[in-house]
Amino acid sequence: MADNLGEELKPPCLITPRPTSSSMAFPKKKLQGLVAATITPMTDNGEINFSVIGQYVDYLVKEQGVKNIFVNGTTGEGLSLSISERRQVAEEWVTKGKDKLDQVVIHVGALSLKESQELAQHAAEIGADGIAVIAPFFLKPWTKDILINFLKEVAAAAPALPFYYYHIPALTGVKIRAEELLDGIQDKIPTFQGLKFSDTDLLDFGQCVDQNRQQQFAFLYGVDEQLLSALVMGATGAVGSTYNYLGKKTNQMLEAFERKDLSLALNYQFCIQRFINFVVKLGFGVSQTKAIMTLVSGIPMGPPRLPLQKASREFTDSAEAKLKSLDFLSFTDLKDGSLEASS
């Protein structure tokens, strides 16, 4: 992936390098490649099903070739869990991922600064590889400086952990442009290491990359159906829900892109789009992601937590037929007991 923004991409108008304040080098290598936004498995009575997380780690690594995870984010229903549950989920992923996963990033965003700080500190204590934070979305920060102040306070609770800003304006309602936020961010947040950009505004994303070429930031794109466009803009990695079950296919797209075989990469992207387009038309979100992952992996993800509703049997049946027609799923991939969506 475009880690280096290679020579051929450098425009003649290269901007003056900005001094980097974060020579506070982290031992970890830069977060890159695919990052699965993990689902939080639940039992039918709505409790977290910790018992399948070990199996889930093995599935991601062995079957999907995905070795980085993003825990307790949107897909993980992080904001629907109690603080105690979020701690336990984070701990379980770190424990089960030890020596198997490359990086475990924990989303610690919350409406309460105190809770966010507690989660950040906890992530550091359990040995996570990074933390990410969304903008608070009830009482909202309306300016860049206020948002930075909030993020800075959270980051300071885990001063040795790489910090990522999770930009997802459609869900938070905080529309401060990422480009604006990144301007001089390391002066305020020395642990800032990157951006998780879950938005379709590729002008904003491209400018984040372009204006920070001298930094070693990770630019992680979060709209799976248009990842290829973001790669062209300089994405260094991607965080998303579909990498749980389309990781292998998406990795093939990344490999084709790396080899500069754009036509093949585009074929993969279109193929992935055909599936996402299909499920989006049926109504697609976290509940449906849980149903698809159950179907594809055979690991029971269970229902989502209220206010989300379990995916319907019709949805699961249609998704299964589409996966098969696209050759994303063969009969041999189907595991016993995988068709558990309700009607």
Ligand X SMILES: CC(=O)N[C@@H]([C@@H](O)[C@H](O)[C@H](O)CO)[C@@H](O)CC(=O)C(=O)O
Q: Which residues are catalytic?
A: 166, 196
Using rule CB under 6 A, residue 239 touches ligand X: yes
Cβ distance to ligand X smaller for residue 83 or 213: 83
Q: Which residue is nearest to ligand X (CB)?
A: 73
- The interface mask with ligand X, positions 21-50, x = CB under 6 A, is ----------------x-------------
Q: Tell me, what amino acid is at 261? A: D
Using rule CB under 6 A, residue 244 touches ligand X: no
Q: How far apart are the C-alpha atoms of 147 and 152, rounded to whole Å? A: 8
Q: How far apart are the C-alpha atoms of 91 and 69, rounded to whole Å? A: 13
Are the beta carbons of 276 and 242 closer than 8 angstroms?
A: yes
In the list 32, 68, 242, 250, the residue contacting ligand X (rule: CB under 6 A) is: 242
Using rule CB under 6 A, residue 74 touches ligand X: yes
Using rule CB under 6 A, residue 222 touches ligand X: yes
Using rule CB under 6 A, residue 199 touches ligand X: no
- Tokens encoding 174: 């905080």
Cβ distance to ligand X smaller for residue 172 or 186: 172
Are the beta carbons of 152 and 193 closer than 8 angstroms?
A: no
* Residues numbered 250-289 forming contacts with ligand X, rule: CB under 6 A: 276
- Tokens encoding 308: 């989300």
Are the beta carbons of 226 and 194 closer than 8 angstroms?
A: no
* Total of residues contacting ligand X (CB under 6 A): 15
The least distance separating ligand X from the CB of residue 303, rounded to whole angstroms, comes to: 17
Find the part of the chain contacting ligand X (CB under 6 A) among 12-20, 222-230, 303-311, 332-340: 222-230
- Reading phi first (left if > 0) and then psi (alpha if -120 to 50, else beta), residue 260 is in left
Using rule CB under 6 A, residue 64 touches ligand X: no
Q: How far apart are the C-alpha atoms of 305 and 40, rounded to whole Å? A: 10
Using rule CB under 6 A, residue 77 touches ligand X: no
- Check the annotation: does 75 bind a ligand: yes
- Check the annotation: does 38 bind a ligand: no
Question: What are the beta bridge partners of residue 334?
Answer: none
Find the part of the chain contacting ligand X (CB under 6 A) among 52-60, 110-118, 208-216, 235-243: 235-243
Residue 98: other Cβ atoms inside 10 A: 11
Mark out the alpha helices in the chain (DSSP H runs): 53-58, 64, 83-97, 113-126, 144-155, 169-172, 178-182, 185-188, 202-210, 227-233, 247-258, 262-282, 286-297, 313-325
In the list 217, 224, 231, 292, the residue contacting ligand X (rule: CB under 6 A) is: 224
In the list 75, 215, 294, 316, the residue contacting ligand X (rule: CB under 6 A) is: 75
Task: Using CB under 6 A, list all residues that contact ligand X.
Answer: 37, 70, 73-75, 198, 222-225, 239-242, 276
Q: Which residues are annotated as a binding site for pyruvate?
A: 75, 239
